[in-house]
C-alpha cells in the first residue's frame, strides 16, 4: 500500500526524499517483518484471554497420546493462527507492491487455508473432540484452492491477447501453447539448465506441493514451539530465494531460472517471519496458546505457494525436510498398521516417537530446530552448486 503511494507521488515528482526507501525491496521486507511482529505481540495477551473465555476447555488433547500432555496442556486455547494471520496480512498489505499478482495469490491461498483450518479448529473445540472436519472434504477444498492458485501463476507467465484476437489467446490458454517452457516445467536444483516440462500435469504436481506442504506443517504442529520456528526458518530461506530469483542480475550470476516479479514475495515471507516471532513470544514452552490448524494449514500453504512461484518446488522438500519427515512418518505408520496390524514408530507423527523414547519435550523441539536450520542451509547451498 505504501509502495503504491510512493509510486503515485513519484509520478508527479512531489514526494519526500525519505520515501525513496520504499523502492528498495530489502527495506520493505525488513519493515514487513517488524510490522507483523508488532501486530502479533500487541494483540497477544488480550486475544489469548478472549480465546480462553470463548473456548473454555481449550483444545482437546488426544487420549491415546502422550499422557503428560493431557495434564500439562489441558485448557490451553487454540486458533492462535488468527494472530499469525493478522500480523502476516497487515505486514504484507502495508509494505508489499499490491499490483504484484504473486503477492495476491500467496495472500489468497494463505487466507483460504486459514479459514479452512479455523473451521476445523472450531469443530474440534465445540465438539471437544480431536476429530474435526471430514478429511476428504478438507483435502478437496485444499486442492481446489491450490489448483486455482497454480493456474493463476501459470497464466501470469503467458503473453496477453495477441493481434489475432481473444479467440487465439483463449486457445493458447487452454493448450498452454504460448506458455514459456518455464511456466509448466519442473526445475531441478544443482543442474543449472535442466527443465522437465510437465504440461498440464504441472497443475496437479504444483497443487500437490501446496497441499502437501500445508498438511506436513499441520502434522508437525504438536509440541510447544515445534512448528513455528521451522516455518520461520523455511520462510527466511525462501525470502532469500525469492529475492535472488526475482532479480535478473543475481539469477543470471547464480544460473537459476529468473522469474519476473517473484522477488516481491520476499516481503510476504518476511511478514511470516515477523508474525512467527510474535507468536513464539506466547507459544514458547509452556505455550499460552496453540496455533491450531488455523495457523499450520495457512503457513504450510503459504510456503508451498512461494516455492511454486519461485520454481523451487524440489528445494522446498529440502528446506522443509523436517515437515516431510513428519508427514512421511504418519503415512508410513498408517499404511503399515493397516497392512500388518503393527506399528513402525512408537507413535506418529515422529516427534511423539522420540517423546515415547524418553526425550524431554524441550529436547525434541530444540533438536528439531537444529535439523531445520541445517536443512535450510543445504537448500540455500543448491543455489550456488550449479
pLDDT recorded at residue 47: 93
pLDDT tens column, 226-271: 999 999 999 999 999 999 999 999 999 888 888 999 999 999 999 9
What string of H, E and C letters represents the secondary structure of 284-340? CCCCCCCCHHHHHHHHHHHHHHHHHHCCCHHHHHHHCHHHHHHHHHHHHHHHHHHHH
Is the previous residue joined to 286 through a cis bond, with omega within 30 degrees of 0? Answer: yes
**Burial track 243-278 (b if 16+ CB lie within 10 A, e otherwise):** bbbbbeeebeebebbbbebbbbbbbbbbbbbbbbbb
pLDDT recorded at residue 164: 47
pLDDT recorded at residue 54: 79
For residue 108, what are the contacts with CB-CB under 8 A and spacing of at least 6? 145, 149
What's the rounded Cα separation, in Å, for the pair 291 and 311? 28
What's the rounded Cα separation, in Å, for the pair 213 and 236? 16
DSSP state of 188: -
pLDDT tens column, 199-219: 888 999 999 999 999 999 999
Question: Phi/psi class of residue 128: alpha, beta or left (left: φ > 0; alpha: ψ in -120 to 50)?
Answer: left
pLDDT recorded at residue 70: 59
pLDDT recorded at residue 11: 62
User: Closest Cα partner for 120 from 318, 295, 307?
Assistant: 295
Give the helix ranges, DSSP H, for 56-134.
67-72, 81-95, 101-127
Task: Measure Cα distances from 321 to 125, 255, 345 in Å.
Answer: 31, 24, 18
pLDDT recorded at residue 12: 59
What's the rounded Cα separation, in Å, for the pair 305 and 151? 12
Residue boundaries of the structural domains of the chain: 29-314
pTM above 0.75, yes or no: yes
Three-state DSSP state, 152: helix
pLDDT recorded at residue 163: 45
Crossing angle (nearest 10°) for helices 292-309 and 135-156: 30
pLDDT recorded at residue 162: 44
Three-state DSSP state, 44: helix
Give pLDDT < 50 ranges for the chain. 161-164, 166, 168-169, 177-179
Amino acid at each position: 500500500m505504501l509502495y503504491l503511494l510512493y509510486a503515485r507521488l513519484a509520478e508527479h515528482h512531489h514526494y519526500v526524499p525519505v520515501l525513496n526507501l520504499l523502492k528498495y525491496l530489502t527495506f520493505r521486507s525488513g519493515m514487513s517483518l517488524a510490522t507483523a511482529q508488532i501486530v502479533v505481540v500487541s494483540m497477544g495477551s488480550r486475544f489469548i484471554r478472549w480465546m480462553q473465555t470463548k473456548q473454555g476447555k481449550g483444545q482437546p488433547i488426544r487420549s491415546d497420546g502422550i499422557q503428560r500432555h493431557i495434564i500439562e496442556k489441558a485448557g490451553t486455547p487454540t486458533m492462535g493462527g488468527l494472530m499469525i494471520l493478522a500480523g502476516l496480512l497487515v505486514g504484507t498489505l502495508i509494505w508489499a507492491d499490491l499490483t504484484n499478482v504473486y503477492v495476491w495469490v500467496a495472500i489468497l491461498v494463505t487466507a483460504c487455508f486459514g479459514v479452512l483450518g479455523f473451521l476445523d479448529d472450531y469443530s474440534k473445540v465445540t465438539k471437544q473432540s480431536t476429530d474435526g472436519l471430514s478429511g476428504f472434504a478438507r483435502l478437496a477444498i485444499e486442492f481446489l484452492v491450490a489448483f486455482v492458485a497454480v493456474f493463476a501463476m501459470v497464466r501470469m507467465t503467458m503473453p496477453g491477447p495477441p493481434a489475432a484476437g481473444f479467440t487465439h489467446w483463449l486457445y493458447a490458454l487452454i493448450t498452454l501453447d504460448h506458455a514459456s517452457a518455464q511456466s509448466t516445467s519442473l526445475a531441478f536444483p544443482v543442474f543449472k539448465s535442466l527443465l522437465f516440462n510437465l504440461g498440464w500435469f504441472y497443475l496437479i504436481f504444483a497443487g500437490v506441493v501446496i497441499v502437501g506442504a500445508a498438511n506436513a506443517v499441520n502434522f508437525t504442529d504438536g509440541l510447544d514451539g515445534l512448528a513455528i520456528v521451522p516455518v520461520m526458518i523455511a520462510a527466511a530461506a525462501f525470502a532469500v530465494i525469492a529475492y535472488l530469483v526475482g532479480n535478473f542480475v543475481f539469477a543470471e550470476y547464480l544460473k537459476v531460472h529468473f522469474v519476473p516479479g517473484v522477488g516481491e514475495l520476499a516481503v510476504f515471507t518476511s511478514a511470516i517471519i515477523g508474525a512467527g516471532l510474535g507468536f513464539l513470544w506466547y507459544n514458547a514452552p509452556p505455550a499460552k496458546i496453540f496455533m491450531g490448524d488455523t495457523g499450520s494449514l495457512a503457513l504450510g500453504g503459504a510456503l508451498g505457494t512461494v516455492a511454486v512461484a519461485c520454481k523451487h518446488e524440489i528445494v522446498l522438500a529440502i528446506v522443509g525436510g523436517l515437515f516431510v519427515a513428519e508427514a512421511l512418518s504418519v503415512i508410513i505408520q498408517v499404511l503399515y498398521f493397516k497392512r500388518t496390524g503393527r506399528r513402525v514408530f512408537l507413535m506418529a507423527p515422529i516427534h511423539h516417537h522420540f517423546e515415547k523414547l524418553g526425550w524431554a519435550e524441550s529436547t525434541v523441539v530444540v533438536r528439531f530446530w537444529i535439523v531445520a536450520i541445517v536443512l535450510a542451509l543445504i537448500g540455500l547451498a543448491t543455489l550456488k552448486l550449479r
